[in-house]
Amino acid sequence: MNEFATIGELARGLRQGDYSSVELIRHYLARIDANSTLNTFITVAEDEALNAAASADQAFERGEAGPLTGIPLAHKDIFCTQGIATTCGSRILENWIAPYDATVVDRLAHAGAVLLGKTNMDEFAMGSSNENSYFGAALNPWDSSRVPGGSSGGSAAAVAAGLTPVATGTDTGGSIRQPAAFCGVAGIKPTYGRVSRYGMAAFASSLDQAGVFGHDAQDLAVVLSIMSGFDPRDSTSSDRADSWLTGVSESGLKPNDEGLTIGLPSEYFKDLNEGATLLQAAAKEFENAGCRLTQISLPHTDAAIPAYYIIAGAEASTNLARYDGVHFGYRCENPKSLEDLYQRSRSEGFGIEVKRRILTGTYALSVGYFDAYYLKAQKLRRLIQQDFLSAFEEVDLILAPTTPGVAFHTGDLTDDPVAMYQQDIFTIPASLAGLPALSLPCGFTGGLPIGMQLIGPHFSERRLLETSALYQQNTDWHQRHPEVA
Amino acid sequence: MQWEPVIGLEVHVQLATKSKIFSGASPAFGGAPNAQACPVDLGLPGVLPVLNAEAVRMAVMFGLAINATIYPYSIFDRKNYFYPDLPKGYQISQFDHPIVGPGTLTIQMENGDTHIIRITRAHLEEDAGKSLHTAYAGMTGIDLNRTGTPLLEVVSEPDLRSPAQAVAYFKQLHALVRYLKICDGNLAEGSMRCDANVSVRPLGATELGERSEIKNINSFRFVEKAIQFEIERQIDILESGGKVKRDTRLYDSERNETRSMRSKELSDDYRYFPDPDLLPVRLTLEFIAAVKASLPELPQARKARFTTELKLSDYDAAWLTNDPAVADYFEAVLATAHDAKLTANWIMGDASAALHRDDLEWTDCPVPATELGQLIARINDNTISSKLAKTVFEALWTKEGTVDEIIDARGLRQLSDSGALRGIIEKIMMDNPDQVAQYRAGKDRVLGFFVGQVMKATQGKANPGQVNELLLDSLKREKGSEE
């Protein structure tokens, strides 16, 4: 069995009876176990997975199998799963079990997918290296002395290491795209509103968006097609029903041959060292495939990081108020008073980065600072959105680096939060604008993968994925895999 | 010095929706603790609020009923604070952009004076849960059933000048929301709760004095008493040379006093900001027009109609229109009775007393309106006497049958045969010569004695007007024949 098979290949294997779903799941569970030092999973749901696989096999027998029946996947541990722990990478939810399934979890389960377990992540999705996980960082399968990126580092590393063919993630400022780039896999953050946020523990509600990791564009499209769509439980979910998306698992993704105009934003390339030549080669690849390249400018790019850390912090400071030791989750020992219960439960339950963001966010919303910080950040956010809208009057897609460089070493940036925040400089602008964006592997530097980012107009996932399919048709970076156990 | 109280009220009106403002759970009162709290109400990780359109419609109805501005664009904000009965650590409310803007409510005092009270705004928000401090020794229980119950917070300008005006305003609001059927008006269950901002200033001054806020008053009587206490407390402080401190107070009805809960010198910072989980509420002009078209007749219009068209007194009209259930019952009775004043008397008298006696609501009145109407009609067509009508009413109450069945079955039909009545009268006069003599000697009061005797002889069935007439006639004739 190909350890790095796509779900298309696995579905064929299941259909043809090359293996049963139970056999397939046992295979992946064994791989997870063999690679446990990568620490990609917080919880492995072995019993539940084998039960679900047995049901999938019965569905095949009854001839009722759908596109994902019997296909293994993993969920970032931020999606609520009924009966299986949901920790958000935090001590404060260490033993918390959700009484309900997130919409994403529910839809994928209904499509027959088998949940292997819950993947490691930076606490409450706050981080770019996975080092903020209470359960210890996941490691990069290409070099275990390096970080897999964050916050969805566990999902990216698990897909890269062949421990699951696909995995979900969430992206608030780059938490899917950056780890995808660091781990050499594909990862898409859809348009804000494309996928329901119901059941996804909130970090920054106006930015959080669920997405998926996989090896190729087709896998991303198939999983996305099932995750997407209006959810009456999420007022911010879009009620668009794109027929290509709902039909993509049958029809397959067609490599884009429209001769698109692709914009290269000068602000993203000006200081780029590592990977610059690989990005240029990727651009050339598109040109060779009939696309037109053009330089563009996104003048407010520099404002993105400060605006983002104000807005995301502000929202996080209130989203995380519910973790107070009263109703659920971690509670300190022997509280002396209500105040003491709040203070110690939260002080002991949250990690340092979460506290830092709660404090900055609280500050930004306080009387006397609200206008100077929160309102100003919202103005900057609109300017950044406007940059993109203007650019998309000229170009169909934007090609940019995903990260400033390759995966850094564990511990390199932990003492310098601002340098850590700079890691997200190329992914945050699209998040602030609510745009769909994905990262694809586009080469290697010193044996480490480099990612390129494609950013499209709102709800242009089809164009993004078909353009990715075009690239992957002509290149084989996505078929390079790390050596793992 | 003469002091002038200045009062503003914030009234929380619990909207009578079937589900909560942001979740599908039931907001019904009285369930087992936490039985009516779903994951959204519990504020579990990952849950999201979804706005209940019915709450929006009700808020718009209220706004239109007070002639307020309805904002086509309003926003839900998060009001952040920690409290055990607030599971999310923030309350979803409206801050800068409420759904209902300035409007007015006219109140009428007992002496007939009217005052126009300005309403600053009304906004939608979710209620918090309840802390139960007595149920568990040494611990506090949290009941989140009330969490997420839709509230409309109605904020008045400081236009009220006495406790009586504050009560009149609260009552007028109470009547209005029940007319609109947007609130059950049950004060005992907390369906309407009132915070009062109270200050005093020298009469004639234009600047406002420092105020205190009395929280969570839930009866008309307590609104009056709490404000009265607070006014006196503040005047005492000022007259003894002190300064009123801005604070939040609680009214203790057992001791009839207000007590400071917390000082407001350091104002709370709730860090309001727009809730990113909810879209702005956008209302079309068509929607607002449709809600307007659906408004029922409002209490003041109904009262005016009762005084002008039905010629009822101000007092009667106010009494009858205060509660829409009473007014509806009244109009249904009137449709058969065709006598507004007599119908008003029956409803304000016997019917009200009987309901009170049996602890029933108007909507549960065991006497159908058509039957009470028929009873009144039977009084007016002289089929029965007013006195025996009370007997019929009690029989209707215990569901003995229709008015006419009861009259016949019990033989209560009024005796109006003048020949038979004359015979009875003559016999009574013969039997009571002393009284006849007294009457003749000018003691008119003795007439009452004869009426009583006739009624006794006829078991109350004699038509009293006819008896009077015949008695006068007979007594005069006797008199005349002797002369």
Least CA distance to A361: which residue of chain B? B271
Is the CB of residue B164 less than 8 Å from the CB of residue B224? Answer: yes
Taking the CA of residue B145 and the nearest CA in chain A, the distance in Å comes to: 14
A422 pLDDT above the threshold of 60? yes
Phi/psi of residue A85, each to 5°? -50, 140
ipTM: 0.96
pLDDT at A320: 98
Residue of A367, A373, A431 to mutate, interface with B, max B Cβ within 10 Å: A367
> B267: which chain A residues are within 8 Å (Cβ-Cβ)?
367
Q: Which of A265-279, B4-18, B117-131 has the lowest mean pLDDT?
A: A265-279
pLDDT at B264: 56
Residues of A with catalytic roles: 76, 151, 175
Partner B contacted by A39 (CB < 8 A): no
Chain mean position to CA B141? 33
pLDDT at B268: 77
pLDDT at A255: 94
Is the CB of residue B155 less than 8 Å from the CB of residue B173? Answer: no
pLDDT band at B7 (very low <50, low <70, confident <90, very high): very high
Write the DSSP assignment of A277-300 as a string of letters. Answer: HHHHHHHHHHHHTT-EEEEE--TT
Other Cβ atoms within 10 Å of B164 Cβ, number:
16
What length is written for chain B? 483
Element holding A269 (H helix, E strand) = helix A266-269
Q: List residues bridging with B104 in a β-sheet.
A: B118
Residue with the two structure tokens 């300064």:
B243
pLDDT at B482: 45
Token duo for residue B139? 């611990």
- Provide the pairing of β-strand B212-217 with A41-44: unpaired
The domains found in chain B, sorted by start residue, are: 3-287 (no CATH), 297-409 (no CATH), 418-482 (1.10.10.410)
Q: Which of A153-157, B16-20, B264-268, B298-302 has the lowest mean pLDDT?
A: B264-268
Token duo for residue A259? 């001769």
Taking the CA of residue A34 and the nearest CA in chain B, the distance in Å comes to: 32
Round to whole Å and give the CA distance between A290 and A296: 19
Token duo for residue B225? 């008493």
Round to whole Å and give the CA distance between A124 and A109: 23
Contacting A residues, span 93-152, partner chain B, CB-CB under 8 Å: 93, 96, 98-100, 102
Round to whole Å and give the CA distance between B288 and B321: 26
The domains found in chain A, sorted by start residue, are: 7-260 (3.90.1300.10)
User: In whole numbers, what is the pLDDT of chain A averaged over residues?
Assistant: 96
A198 pLDDT above the threshold of 70? yes
**DSSP annotation of B400:** -
pLDDT band at B479 (very low <50, low <70, confident <90, very high): low
B467 pLDDT above the threshold of 90? no
pLDDT at B263: 66
pLDDT band at A475 (very low <50, low <70, confident <90, very high): very high
pLDDT at A140: 98
pLDDT band at A28 (very low <50, low <70, confident <90, very high): very high
Residue of B22, B277, B281, B282 to mutate, interface with A, max A Cβ within 10 Å: B277
**DSSP annotation of B131:** E
| CA angle, A430 then A127 then A148, to 5° | 95
Among A199, A235, A342, the residue with its CB nearest the CB of B278 is A235
Among A102, A315, A338, the residue with its CB nearest the CB of B276 is A315
Q: Which of A267, A273, A197 is nearest to A235 (CA)?
A: A197
- Mean pLDDT within A225-241: 95
Contacts of A411 (CB under 8 A, 6+ apart): A131
Q: Which of A310, A258, A206 is nearest to A460 (CA)?
A: A258
